[in-house]
Structure 1
Amino acid sequence: MHQLLVECPSIYEMLPNIDFDWKKKPEIQVWRKQSKDGETSVELESYDPGASVNLFEEALKSNELSYNGKTVPLPFNSAILKWAAGTREIINKTQVPNGISFYNIYGTSFDTPFDVCYGSESSPINELSEICHSNPEYSFVDGDGTVPTESSKADNLDPVERIGVRGSHRGLLNNDEVFEHIQNWLGVSPKNKKHSKTSKVMDVHFSRPVEEKNCSQY
């Protein structure tokens, strides 16, 4: 988490959309050590997309970056989060102009991280700040290894065609099947098949079963 804040501030724009109608909302789970009345217990806390902001604020409140002999505070930045929310709102309202055909090709068949879990029942987290430098466990869903299929298909732009291709996030850029679809849509394929303006939206999903792991088991 600390590294992402330093190297990828756009992470704020990639947080789960709290307004999206997920089949199952992604969660952050944390095994926490609790002490009460002199007794210690371990509990599994869960944070959905809406509650995760509170988790980030608490975990990063004392986060710092050491640079050139100086220490720079690097807490969770609510201002950037607000800008990111504004950007997302604009994107959600965006529509393809009349006369423009939109197509969506998305990657499938790769295990893609979805839920994340910090700590374990046998080795719980004491302070939330510890998760900044902890290696979590993930549960996985179908996708391109980076973006879940459910998210990739949610373009909200009424495409002429929406096609799933077995391929990784970057691998799609060098995928023969992807180029064949593009050539076909442009009317330059060997068979010279041109798409019709009345084409129906189509979901073609080539996938293999993906084993989903329950984070709470770790």
Structure 2
Amino acid sequence: MSSSLWGVATMPESKPTPAPGPCLLVPGLCGSVLHVRGVGEEGEGRREWIVAERADAAFRALWGRYCPDSREIQSLTQEEVIIPTGGLNDGGLYACDLLDPSLNILPPAALRYFHTLIQTMTREWGHVPGHSLHGFPYDFRQSNLRHLEALLAKLERISGANGGVKVDVISHSMGGLVVKLLLAKYPTQCARLVRSWVAIAAPFNGAPGFTADALLTGVQFVSGWANYFFVQRETLRQMVCQAPSIFELLPSGDMDWGHEAGTPRVTIRLTGPVDELGEEGSIPVVAPQAAAAATVVAGEGEKEGSEGDEEEAPVEGSRYTFNIADDGLRELLRLCMRDNEVTLQEKGIPLPLVDEILDHAMEMRSLLAKAELPPDCKMLNLFGTGLPTPFSCAYGTEAAPLQSLASLSDGSTTAVFETLDGDGTVPAVSARRDGLAAFQRVGLTGDHRQLMELPASLDLIHGFLSEVANDEAVSVGDEGDELEGHGERRHLSHFYTGMRYWPYCTEPDELPEVEGGWLMV
């Protein structure tokens, strides 16, 4: 690759664009259409995720209870969750394209999942649905481990239908964990079946702030007036608290988030102490402390905070801090969910925390650490940067502490986040540190979902897949540079044009601010 003094890459002589090889799209959390039907029934059933006009009521059909023996979330009714085909022979694309297929004219951005990517790949890159382009939708509530055999079988079928050639894989978000687990559990088969992997916004080291807040207060997918017509936070919380996949998005305790970030944590300010936690604070990371004194302004006509006009008055209250990555969060969830129940078909159903769900999540983390890329498989890691991304959560303030832990789930409490750089959901440092010998890592300014359809993302993916097909990728330097402390390699490829790039930055706060721009690492 030639480069000017300004670091702008130039394009060498162009090569003929090869015919696209087979490609499989693997969605992430909430990225698959889910239907529900009676156990033993046939057919497509009815769509429950997503039905825009009755989203909140429909989503309740996805509530379940985690079973430690099967390690699955099981239905609370005599129904089962299935993946629809839409009556199409499109290789699974239907259920990861538009999340509400009825809104196929000017669909809202929140419901366009792989839609833009699918349209681009079929209309501009030459892919054929059901032949050279496939999707792998799945029940995103279940453990990521549960999908590995089905994913392996899907790759076998795609490869076999295309003359035995290897398959390119593109994943988004949690789908990256599914693919990485496949590499860890079936390395020999992956070496035979997978040619390349594009991981978009993958939470390789967890999404601590997003996940902890989702478990405590729920998830809000849309904001403003639109939220009144979508799934409510509490409705989503009741699902995620029993869904093993959500717990698998918690960070591992040995992740180094940077010297300033420290450890992700949850801080709660309450009007009084919690008896079950004890006075010594042996379970929380930080012992219960008296809330900081409030400021009282004494003096008429003076501005609040004027020097000499303030005195401190004690406030009745306690503060607890829990480490998200260890048993502190377990104890907090156990207390918050001890009386948790849902009402379904006019019947109250208890749904306390199932301790084993956290144990199983940690087992998945251990398996992830064993993954390696096959020798001839190239990986492009696209991650988001430039947006404040939840890292630690705080609930209640010195001036307005919560009345009790029950206030977390009553719909009135929202978190104040300590943030890192990232895509708004996954911190850049989590997505960037994939733990693999990635061919390229590229940071783009964009939010978590938007990264799938940015023109820059599409150009990068197309260029990367074309280079992989040509098998003539050229890297800068002889061996690439070591990624400090992680034994990973980084490379810059020659096919990008008009791009500014910077040296690798060791910490997320060192990343340059580039509006709508590129960062190559």
Structure 2 counterpart SS, 1:14: coil
Separation in structure 2 between the aligned mates of residue 141 and residue 150 of structure 1, nearest angstrom: 9
Task: Specify whether residues 113 and 147 from structure 1 end up closer, same or farther in structure 2 by C-alpha distance, changes over 3 A only.
Answer: same
> 2:366 and 2:387 mapped to 1: Cα distance?
29
**Correspondence for 2:320:** 45
Match of 1:196 among 474, 484, 489: 474
Instruction: Tell me the equivalent position of 1:207.
Output: 513
- 1:154-187 CA distances to partner (integer Å, 9 max, x unpaired)? 2101211111011111111111112222233234
**Structure 2 counterpart of 1:65, from 339, 342, 354:** 342
Shift of 1:195: 2.2
Structure 2 distance, partners of 1:91, 1:99, is: 20
The alpha carbon displacement at 1:199 in A equals: 6.5
Q: Deviations over 1:39-75 (max 9, x none)?
A: 9722332111212211111111111111111111111
- Matching residue within 263, 286, 296 for 1:25: 263
**Cα 1:208–1:61, aligned 2, differ >3 Å: closer, same or farther?**
farther
The alpha-carbon deviation at position 126 of structure 1 amounts to: 3.3
Contact preservation (8 Å) 2:445, 2:514: no
Matched, 1:106 2:397: no
Q: In the comparison of the two structures, how many residue pairs are matched?
A: 205
Asked if 1:6 corresponds to 2:238, the answer is yes
Query: Is the 1:187–1:194 contact (alpha carbons within 8 Å) kept by the matching residues of 2?
Result: no
CA distance in 2, matches of 1:208, 1:48: 33
Amino acid aligned to 1:12: F
Indicate conservation of the 8 Å contact 1:161/1:199, yes or no. Answer: no
Deviation, 1:196, is 2.4
- Report how far residue 80 of structure 1 moved: 1.8
- CA displacement at 1:31 relative to structure 2: 0.5
- 1:184 partner letter: G
Amino acid in structure 1 at the alignment position of 2:372: Q
Distance 1:199 1:108, change over 3 A: farther
Q: How does 1:72-111 map to 2 (within 5 A)?
A: 72-111=349-388
The 8 Å contact of residues 186 and 194 in structure 1, kept in 2 or not, is answered as no
Q: What SS is found at the alignment partner of 1:18?
A: coil
Cα distance in structure 2, aligned partners of 1:81 and 1:64:
19
Q: Which has the higher contact order (CA 8 A, sep 6+)?
A: 1
Structure-2 residue corresponding to 1:137: 416
> Alpha carbons of 1:141 and 1:208: their partners in 2 closer, same or farther (altered >3 Å)?
farther
Q: Distance in 2 between matches of 1:30 and 1:171?
A: 32
Amino acid at match of 2:464: W
Letter in 2 for 1:142: D
TM-score (norm 2): 0.36
Identical-residue share of aligned pairs (%): 26
Partner letter of residue 95 of structure 1? E
| 1:133-173 deviations in Å (ceiling 9; x for gaps) | 22222222211111111111121012111110111111111
Task: Normalising by structure 1, report the TM-score.
Answer: 0.82
Cα distance in 1, alignment partners of residues 459 and 479 from structure 2: 17
Per-residue CA deviations over 1:94-144 (Å, capped at 9, x if unaligned) read 111111111211011112122111111122123223212222222222111
Q: SS at 1:103's partner residue?
A: strand
Moved more, 193-202 or 48-57: 193-202
State whether residues 60 and 132 of structure 1, in contact with CA within 8 Å, keep that contact through their aligned partners in structure 2: no
CA distance change for structure 1 residues 64 and 208 in 2, over 3 Å: closer, same or farther? farther
**C-alpha distance in 2, partners of 1:32/1:66?**
28
In structure 2, the gaps of 5 or more residues are 1-215, 219-233, 276-313, 481-489, 492-503, 506-510, 516-521
Q: How does 1:125-204 map to 2 (within 5 A)?
A: 125-133=402-410, 134-187=413-466, 194-196=472-474, 200=480, 201-202=490-491, 203=504
Q: CA deviation at 1:33?
A: 2.1
SS across alignment from 2:342:
strand
Q: Which amino acid aligns with 2:393?
A: V
**More displaced stretch, 170-179 vs 79-88:** 79-88
In structure 1, the gaps of 5 or more residues are 210-218
Question: What does the per-residue CA deviation read over 1:5-44, in whole Å, with 9 as the maximum and x for residues that have no partner?
Answer: 42332221112222312222111010122369xx972233
In 2, distance between residues paired with 1:34 and 1:7?
Answer: 30
Give me the whole-angstrom Cα distance separating, in 2, the residues matched to 1:28 and 1:195.
Answer: 45
Could you tell me whether the CA contact under 8 Å between 1:31 and 1:42 is conserved in 2? Answer: yes
Letter in 2 for 1:140: T
Q: CA RMSD in A?
A: 2.8
Counterparts of 1:60 and 1:112, CA distance in 2: 26
Aligned to 2:368, what secondary structure does the other structure show? helix
Runs of 4+ in 1 over 4 A off after TM superposition: 202-206
